[in-house]
Chain A
Amino acid sequence: MIWRDIWREGYFLLRKKSVLLLLLSALGLSVFSVWTGSQEVAAQQATIARLLEADALDRADVLQQQNDYGGVAYYSFHLTYAPPSPLAFAALGARDVYPWKHRIRMLALEGQIYESDTGNPELAQAGRIDFAFVISVLAPVFIILLLHDLRASERAAGRDDLLNVTAHSRRALWPLRAGIIVALLSGVLLLPFWFGAFAHSVPCWQVATVTLVCICYMALIALLCYWVSGWLYPAPVLASMLLGIWLLTTYIIPALGNEAIEHSIDGPLGGDILMVQREAVNGAWELPYSHTMDEFVKTHPKWADYTEMSALFEWKWYFAFHQVGDQVAAPLSKRYREVGKKKYQMAGVVAWLSPATLLQRTLTRLAQTDAIAAREYEQQVRDFHEQLRHFYYPLLFTSPPFHRDVFKARPTFEPIEYTK
């Protein structure tokens, strides 16, 4: 019986032009989002490949031109990057807002790390269409359009009573009809994603998780729409109410929450970090060497016996005051990062009032394209910079003879590896 019911309602719904048209546009949007998402990921990977090549060439070049360790340290740039995860095609996330590539050198890190090589700001502001957007923002609109007049249209046409008394069981009609619509919609939205996931060799558990999360989300919206669709109002009133709820939770609550969070937390301004760091670094030229070296030794006691200057300018002193510059700016910088982290955490609380935001955060977390991933990458850059200092300080302070072979041991940046 149940299969005949499903077959009947499925055939019935697909004969409706409006349903078919909506399903086809949903499919089109999903295909477009997956396709352009894949293009974007491919472009990011190609960029990384080109950068890696140019970066290696450039560093080799510097190494040939320089004749002391300090010179190599000063002139060498190191590429760091966070490659897109396999799932990134579906949730491009904040990768157009946060940098995912940096070239850093041995100088004070605080002066370098906030530089952001991101894309076109006008396009970033307009936003992109990716699979996560299609599911979290547009899928509810599709569900509302498909389900709001489930009952109201039958009532307006005078069929409601006839259908109710004809159906051999209650379940065989309204819940089944709504269920089939939502199932069809989920199918056309998820199908392109599954193809994309296969092409990008996304791990099975991630595909399953995304599928499950998306289906739960759509089921939640569908239940709400189903419930409201039973109310005795004309279809446009029902749709207005549902769209109102959607607009409120998807657009207005997050925007209000954002303002509230921005106003509730005070932290250092980015500009302050830069100024403090710069004053510390540049002021050192006029200060006695001992001043810089004392500060330096506080964090690097290992080199306490090597701080004597044999000339007016030595690289070890130069890099020491860069280190000190970072140390002076560190509390501000730490606070700045903590504030950023805190804001994102608070946003997580607000997200519980906005299912779309919650879904977006879930998907970008899975795809590692969110602010958390961006901060992890920033930490990776900081760690790598620290490694560079560990590599160079012995060479600068103990001044062994210059051998280019030494640089074979120079740390290289290891990008994040994604589980397969």
Chain B
Amino acid sequence: MMFRIWLIAKDEWRYWRRSHLAMTVLMIAVVLAIASVVVTFSTVSLAAHQRAHLQSQAEQKFVEQPDRHPHRMVHYGHYLFRTPPPLGRLDPGVDAYTGTAIFLEGHRQNGATFSGQQHSAGLNWLSALSPAFVMQILTPLLLIVMGFGVMTREREAGTFDFLKIQGVSPLMLTIGKGVALAGAGFAVLIPVAVGALITLFYGSSILSVSAFVFSYALYVGFWCALVLLVSTLSRSHVGSFSALIIVWVVTCLVLPRIATNTAVVTVHSPSKLETDFAVLQKLREMGDGHNANDPAFKALKDNLLAKYNVDSVDELPVNFKGIVAQKSEADLTDVLNDFAEQKMEEGVAQAKVARQFGWLSPAIAIQTASMKLAGTDLENYQRFLREAEAVRFAFVQSLNKLHAEGLSYADDVNKYQSHETLQKAKVSANNWQVLSDFHFVPLPAAERFAGSIQALLQLFVLWLVVSIGVVLAGRRQ
């Protein structure tokens, strides 16, 4: 049984070796796969290196600042650079479409700046030469061109009946052809799998690498099964070819874009500017943290005075301006985070609408699975934004604490009296060590895997349905 299947597969391979079309297409696909792995690997590695360098530069600049008023440092701010995750070297995902740097300062949540796509030549409006593109879009086409005739050819040449008389069951023939096709698919997958293994040296986990490779294997499996099914059901090789090409165009090119349009039309997500206005509206009701005399802080003042049992802010053992800065930053951050969370949820809701199309299009399912496992999807980008916000809040608040405890109220309010008072209203540069080391790490592998389960399930179900179809169609012959 196994031997016969192997023979059938080997016979198919021999047929391909003798077909110019099949060999040309296979060679091109393998070369493109290798080229895409090499090119993307080096591009993303360079970007990772540059960003890591900028990050350490930013940290160094911060601690090198001279003695200053703590609030100056709140506005001096800090930069965070997003380094791509290890598997991003194979599927850069949203990397080019998102800002790579974010400026952290007091009272504001800035958006990420400098997206690679804005600064690109714009020729990648349809595709980038990434392994993800080669695997997701080109490999199915390869399998179609090589395999559209695997079954129809036997039937049109009359060899099918001949084989049946020899005791080869239609199912066995189908499986043999399937093995042959899978061989072609895996020939393209190998360079990508090797690339994935290399990312282990860059810190990716075994779980995500194996799940990444497995998801692509499943995707290749789906297309092998589909090619077999259509080739079995078609009356002629012409019909088989046309049908497969139409399925490819629809699922790989058209549906992903239809999914995007549908997501945008169905889930409304106001722009960041609009959110900013909503935040402003809310803040007007809350008071300006720069102005400790703002009536909004009266309750805070009364509480403090009561706590330390003194009559005026001058007598407080802490700097009231610093306390106000802390309090207002905390309140403000709550509001900002509410709005930011809402905006991120809307983004995810849109992405989820688009991802539902994965039940119809395996290309969408593999895109989602691949980006999620690589850590280059929307949620991982949002994780970066959240972590950046946590860093921002921590360093701003530790500076505000310094403001409250390291600087007297009297020195603070009188700072613009003279050059001497200005000098007095500063704290030592030794305090600028408040920054914690920041290195963005994507979600842990287990969580990334959990996030990709729906997409993997979509792929599996599609594969299963088509495979059952193949078995049923094989029996009917």
Known contacts being A137-B126, A270-B119, A350-B123, is A114 close to B114, with CB within 8 Å?
A: yes
What are the residues of chain B within 8 A of A350 when measuring CB–CB? 121, 123
Complex Cα spacing A271 to B101, Å: 7
Residues of chain B within 8 A of A119, CB atoms compared: 264, 269, 271
Tell me whether A259 and B126 are in contact (CB under 8 A): no
B126 touches A127 (CB 8 A): yes
* Neighbouring B residues of A236 by C-beta, 8 Å: 148-149, 237-238, 241
Let me know if A239 is at the binding interface, CB within 8 A. yes
**Stretch from A167-175, A183-191, A275-283, A400-408 that touches the partner:** A275-283
Partner of B274, one of A50, A149, A243: A50
Interfacial chain A residues near B268, Cβ < 8 Å:
43
A54 to B114 Cα, complex, angstroms = 27
Please indicate the chain B residues that have their CB under 8 angstroms from the CB of A14 in the complex. none
Q: Is the CB of B422 within 8 A of A312?
A: yes
Q: Contacts A126-B354, A156-B238, A255-B129; is A279 near B269 (CB within 8 Å)?
A: no
On chain A, the residues within 8 Å of B93 by CB distance are 122, 125
**Would you call A129 and B123 a contact (CB within 8 A)?**
no
Asked whether, in the complex, the Cβ of A129 is within 8 Å of the Cβ of B126, the reply is no
Question: Cβ of A313 < 8 Å from any Cβ of B?
Answer: yes
B265 to chain A, nearest CB (A): 5
Name the residue on A nearest B94 (C-beta). Answer: A121
A124 at the B interface (CB under 8 A): yes
A-B contacts, CB under 8 A, total: 266
A interface bracket (residues with beta carbon within 8 Å of B): 35 or more
Chain A hits for B378, CB < 8 A? 120-122
**Docked-complex contact A122 and B354, CB < 8 angstroms:** yes
Interface string of A56-68 (1 = CB under 8 A from B): 0010010000000
Pair A123/B351 contact, Cβ less than 8 Å: yes
Restricting to B57-104, which residues have a CB under 8 Å from any CB of A? Answer: 57-58, 61, 65-66, 68, 72, 75-77, 79, 81, 93-94, 96-101, 103
- Given known contacts A240-B145, A347-B123, A47 and B103 CB-to-CB distance under 8 angstroms: no
The reply to whether A121 and B98 form a contact with Cβ atoms under 8 Å apart is yes
- Cβ of B188 to closest chain A Cβ, rounded Å: 15
For A120, what are the chain B residues with a Cβ–Cβ distance below 8 Å? 263-264, 269, 347, 350-351, 378
Q: Is A412 interfacial (CB-CB < 8 Å)?
A: no
Interface string of A223-250 (1 = CB under 8 A from B): 0000000000011110110011001001
Q: How large is the interface on B (under 10, 10 to 19, 20 to 34, 35 or more residues)?
A: 35 or more
Q: Are B126 and A254 closer than 8 Å at their CB atoms?
A: yes
Which listed residue (B122, B126, B371) contacts A347, Cβ 8 A?
B122
In the assembled complex, which residues on chain B have CB atoms less than 8 Å from the CB atom of A13? none
B284 within 8 A of A: yes
Q: A235 to B237: give the CA distance in the assembly, Å.
A: 9
Nearest residue, chain A, Cβ from B368: A122
B103 to A: closest C-beta gap in Å:
7
Q: Are B123 and A357 in contact (CB under 8 A)?
A: yes
| Residue pair B79, A312 in contact (C-beta under 8 Å) | no
Q: For residue B126, which residues in chain A have a CB less than 8 angstroms away from its CB?
A: 127, 137, 250-251, 254-255, 356-357
Q: Is the CB of A269 within 8 A of B97?
A: no
Contact (A127, B257) CB under 8 Å given A58-B277, A275-B58:
yes
Chain B contact surface mostly = helix
Whether, in the assembled complex, B200 has its beta carbon less than 8 Å from a beta carbon of chain A, the answer is no
Contact A145-B119, Cβ < 8 Å, known A47-B271, A127-B125: no
A18 at the interface (CB under 8 A from B): yes
Q: Which of B65, B100, B257, B273 contacts A126 (CB 8 A)?
A: B257
Q: Does B127 contact A (CB under 8 A)?
A: yes
**Is B238 a contact partner of A275 (Cβ separation < 8 A)?**
no
| Across-interface contacts of A371 in B (CB, < 8 A) | 118, 122
For A121, what are the chain B residues with a Cβ–Cβ distance below 8 Å?
A: 94, 97-98, 115, 378, 381
Interface string of A359-385 (1 = CB under 8 A from B): 010000000001100100000000000
Q: Are B273's CB and A94's CB within 8 A?
A: no
Judge whether A258 and B113 touch: CB under 8 Å.
no
B464 to chain A minimum Cβ distance, whole angstroms, is 25
B21:A237 contact, CB within 8 angstroms? yes
B256 lies within 8 A of chain A by Cβ: yes
B103, A127: Cβ atoms under 8 Å?
Answer: no
Contact of B57 among A32, A117, A247, A275 (CB under 8 A): A275
Known contacts A58-B277, A101-B273, A258-B128; A344/B114 CB under 8 A: no
**CA gap between A223 and B113 in the complex, in Å:** 46
Chain A 266-306 near chain B by CB (<8 Å), digits 1 or 0: 00011110110011001001100000000000000000000
When distances are taken between beta carbons in the complex, the residues of chain B under 8 Å from A251 are 126-127, 137
A5 is an interface residue with CB less than 8 A from chain B? no
Q: Interface-forming stretch among B204-212, B242-250, B307-315, B452-460? A: B242-250
Q: Are A51 and B25 in touch, CB under 8 angstroms?
A: no
* 8 A-B pairs whose Cβ atoms sit less than 8 Å apart in the complex: A32-B258, A103-B273, A111-B103, A124-B117, A254-B127, A258-B123, A278-B76, A370-B122
Q: Give the A-binding residues of B (Cβ under 8 A).
A: 21, 25, 32, 39, 43, 50-51, 54, 57-58, 61, 65-66, 68, 72, 75-77, 79, 81, 93-94, 96-101, 103, 110-115, 117-129, 133, 137-138, 141, 145, 148-149, 237-238, 241-242, 245-246, 249, 253-254, 256-265, 268-274, 276-277, 280, 284, 347, 350-351, 354, 367, 371, 377-378, 381, 415-419, 422
Across the A-B interface, the 4 shortest Cβ-Cβ residue pairs: A270-B114, A129-B257, A258-B123, A347-B121
